Structure 1
Amino acid sequence: MDLELRHLKTIRAIADAGSLTRAATALGLAQPALSAQLKRIERALGGTLFERGRDGVRATALGDLVLDRARVVLPAVCELQEEAVRFAREGAAGHRLGGTHGPLLGGLVDRLARAGQGAPVTTYTSWSEREIAGGVAAGRLDFALVGVCGESSPPEAGRLAWTEVARDPVHVMLAVGHPLASRSEVDLADLAAEAWTDVPGDGCFGDCFAAACVRSGFTPVCVYETDTASCVHLVQVGRAVGLCRATFPATPGLVTRPLAGTPLIWRHLLGWHPEGRAARHAPDVLAHARAAHADAMARSAARLPAPATP
């Protein structure tokens, strides 16, 4: 059997996990299948790579040698693949955008399509900011349009160039009949008895929200993490109150209000690879993203029902 990259990835996964059971879970394999694969790899390399014990596995001297080489080879091959993808894209027209949910991505697509005079604009969406950033780092996407909580670092901060598009206070969504819907802003402490709903993500927003609640003297009763349409429905029927960005479009049956004292901030960011073809287009794309944000804010403010005097 010839040694392949996938075998090196398997060896590294076992070493990182510290046990065959955890490594099998991480790799999506049954443990017997992983054990059989490891035996084949060890036969190909001429010796035992891991010593099995009650507490897991530990690399042998041969295992350490192979792992040292794997830690050099695997990143090098990954970098080669990413550079090749970026190189192949150098002559391509149009833009490939990755983004999370929200009106900002749609606004940016519209503006780029109008400005591009027929050049294609393609999109990829995900709840995961890390997945979007990884796509840009790997050359599969040109730009990432994502958000982060407060001053936290964006994903792939060491590999991508990131610029702030805008920052917004986080708002609360309330049913139009909610007792607090008439206020111009809502104190977080006044929502202590409410259930909450929010869209998923892999950043620190959930932890920051929980910390803001603790500072206001309560722990959330429950948080329903679901898609945007379900969040809207739960708010409309009075099952929960929601968290949203300031650019959230006005929607029948609910209103959005800023939280008093701005306990939570959302930063919209645009990212690209500094050595990719996107870098030379970044200033134009950034300008369009900021204009799209301004448009979204204007539409949101214009369509929201005015609060009544308390």
Structure 2
Amino acid sequence: MELEVRHLRALCAIADTGSVRKAALQLGMTQPSLTTQLHRIESCIGGLLFTRGRTGSRPTPLGHSVLARARPIIAEMSALVTAARDAALGIGGARLRIGSIGSRAVTGWLHRIHRRLPETDTTIHIDVSSGVLLQLLATNQLDVALVHETTGFPLPVPAGVERRVLIACEPRFVALSAGHPAAARPVVPLGELAGDDWITDPAADDEATALHRAFTAAGTAPRILHVRDTTTAAELVASGEAVRCCQPTAAPEAGTVVRPLLGDPLTAQLSLASRRGALPMRELDALFGDLMEAYAEAAERNETYRLWLREQGGGLLPLPTGR
């Protein structure tokens, strides 16, 4: 058996959904047929690519190695097909393809871009993985992207992709039930949450690894729950079953509160990434300005983050001007 692009797509679908069943639905296959295909792929490669358990399917070290090579191949094929279709249909005109992690700043960013470039066809791709966004940039499927890099865990940046730092050290806050004993604190020590289950998204870059490192430094170990569905995650937090890290601009869900962590043990760098030479410098500057204003606006709307910024002495963010 020789591996084909469809086989690589199947592996990525299993990794992204965390489940053979969900991947089969995504690919339009039956679960037994995808299971059989996976066994054949593993037989061809000569090793186990996923471990199967009650929490789903997770890549083995060999699986991670294969996926790291598979994703760029799939991205390149997608870019080739998109370019070919555009050429065949004679698609032209100004267009801007934006990528982003989930962020409260995205809506304001798009609003500013649409207002400044009303004739431009602007699209956006949201992904939990900054690594995926960087690969989409490298393969000409995106023009710019808002990405984050967990402090201490450098992102693999493809050749030709550049980043401009938006926020050098953004803190990670914690979302917990309004009834949690620590909810009454304005700032929560990490050690007080050592007995809680922590929700992480297995597709998020280094989220669980960073959490392990922070707890190790505090002399304990976290209990991790891998949850990809945001609705389920929000309900688990609201019910008091778990807590989870969140961006400081995040608004609390019903029945929850968002609090800073004492000493900011979890931080990340936010950047605007682009492919070298893909956009004129003037336009790149304007997009960066749009994004910075949108981020500052989102920070100003969030009382918890606004107070945290004030305690840092101010001056970390520009005031939103609404230009």
- Provide TM-score, normalisation by structure 1: 0.67
For the pair 1:206 / 2:225, whether they are aligned, the reply is: no
3-state DSSP class of the match of 1:222? strand
3-state DSSP class of the match of 2:215? helix
Match in the other structure for 1:123: 124
Q: CA deviation at 1:278?
A: 5.8
Specify the code of the residue in structure 1 equivalent to 2:292. Answer: R
Distance in 2, Cα, partners of 1:29 & 1:223: 25
Distance in 1, Cα, partners of 2:224 & 2:38: 35
Q: Percent identity?
A: 25
Distance in 1, Cα, partners of 2:3 & 2:228: 38
Match in the other structure for 1:112: 113
Question: Which structure 2 residues correspond to residues 93-108 of structure 1 after superposition, within 5 A?
Answer: 93-108=94-109
Distance in 1, Cα, partners of 2:235 & 2:274: 35
3-state DSSP class of the match of 1:277? coil
Match in the other structure for 2:224: 222
Match in the other structure for 1:296: 298
Distance in 2, Cα, partners of 1:123 & 1:158: 23
Specify the code of the residue in structure 2 equivalent to 1:221. Answer: R
Distance in 2, Cα, partners of 1:141 & 1:126: 12
Match in the other structure for 1:139: 140
For the pair 1:247 / 2:249, whether they are aligned, the reply is: yes
Work out whether residues 137 and 274 of structure 2, in 8 Å CA contact, stay in contact via their aligned partners in 1.
yes
Distance in 2, Cα, partners of 1:223 & 1:304: 30
Work out whether residues 134 and 273 of structure 2, in 8 Å CA contact, stay in contact via their aligned partners in 1.
yes
Match in the other structure for 1:274: 276
Distance in 2, Cα, partners of 1:258 & 1:30: 45
Distance in 2, Cα, partners of 1:31 & 1:234: 37
Structure 1: runs of 5 or more not aligned: 1-6, 14-24, 36-53, 56-73
- If you compute each CA radius of gyration, which structure gives the higher value, 1 or 2? 1
Shift in alpha-carbon separation, 1:8–1:248, aligned structure 2, 3 A: closer
Shift in alpha-carbon separation, 1:183–1:8, aligned structure 2, 3 A: closer
Match in the other structure for 1:162: 163
3-state DSSP class of the match of 1:233? helix
Q: CA deviation at 1:223?
A: 2.3
Q: CA deviation at 1:237?
A: 0.9
Shift in alpha-carbon separation, 1:147–1:161, aligned structure 2, 3 A: same
Distance in 1, Cα, partners of 2:93 & 2:156: 26
Work out whether residues 90 and 277 of structure 1, in 8 Å CA contact, stay in contact via their aligned partners in 2.
no
**What are the Cα deviations for residues 72-114 of structure 1, in whole angstroms up to 9, with x where unaligned?**
xx9xx99x969x78x9899741321112222222221122112
Shift in alpha-carbon separation, 1:148–1:288, aligned structure 2, 3 A: same
Q: CA deviation at 1:126?
A: 2.1
3-state DSSP class of the match of 1:252? coil
For the pair 1:150 / 2:129, whether they are aligned, the reply is: no
Query: Larger deviation: 194-203 or 130-139?
Result: 194-203
Q: CA deviation at 1:286?
A: 0.8
For the pair 1:180 / 2:211, whether they are aligned, the reply is: no
Specify the code of the residue in structure 2 equivalent to 1:265. Answer: T
- Provide TM-score, normalisation by structure 2: 0.64
Q: CA deviation at 1:196?
A: 1.1
Q: CA deviation at 1:205?
A: 2.7
Shift in alpha-carbon separation, 1:302–1:169, aligned structure 2, 3 A: closer
Distance in 1, Cα, partners of 2:280 & 2:145: 11
Shift in alpha-carbon separation, 1:187–1:91, aligned structure 2, 3 A: same
Q: CA deviation at 1:159?
A: 2.2
Specify the code of the residue in structure 1 equivalent to 2:299. Answer: M
Specify the code of the residue in structure 2 equivalent to 1:137. Answer: A
| Runs of 4+, deviation exceeding 6 Å | 7-10, 87-91, 302-306
Q: CA deviation at 1:127?
A: 2.4
Specify the code of the residue in structure 1 equivalent to 2:294. Answer: A
3-state DSSP class of the match of 1:144? strand
Query: Larger deviation: 217-226 or 203-212?
Result: 217-226
Q: CA deviation at 1:180?
A: 0.9
Distance in 2, Cα, partners of 1:185 & 1:121: 40
Work out whether residues 190 and 262 of structure 2, in 8 Å CA contact, stay in contact via their aligned partners in 1.
yes
Shift in alpha-carbon separation, 1:31–1:278, aligned structure 2, 3 A: farther
Q: CA deviation at 1:243?
A: 0.6
Distance in 2, Cα, partners of 1:139 & 1:253: 42
Distance in 2, Cα, partners of 1:296 & 1:172: 17
**What are the Cα deviations for residues 235-272 of structure 1, in whole angstroms up to 9, with x where unaligned?**
11111011101111233211111110111102221111
Aligned residues between the structures:
243
Q: CA deviation at 1:279?
A: 4.9
Match in the other structure for 2:262: 260
Structure 2: runs of 5 or more not aligned: 9-33, 48-72, 309-323
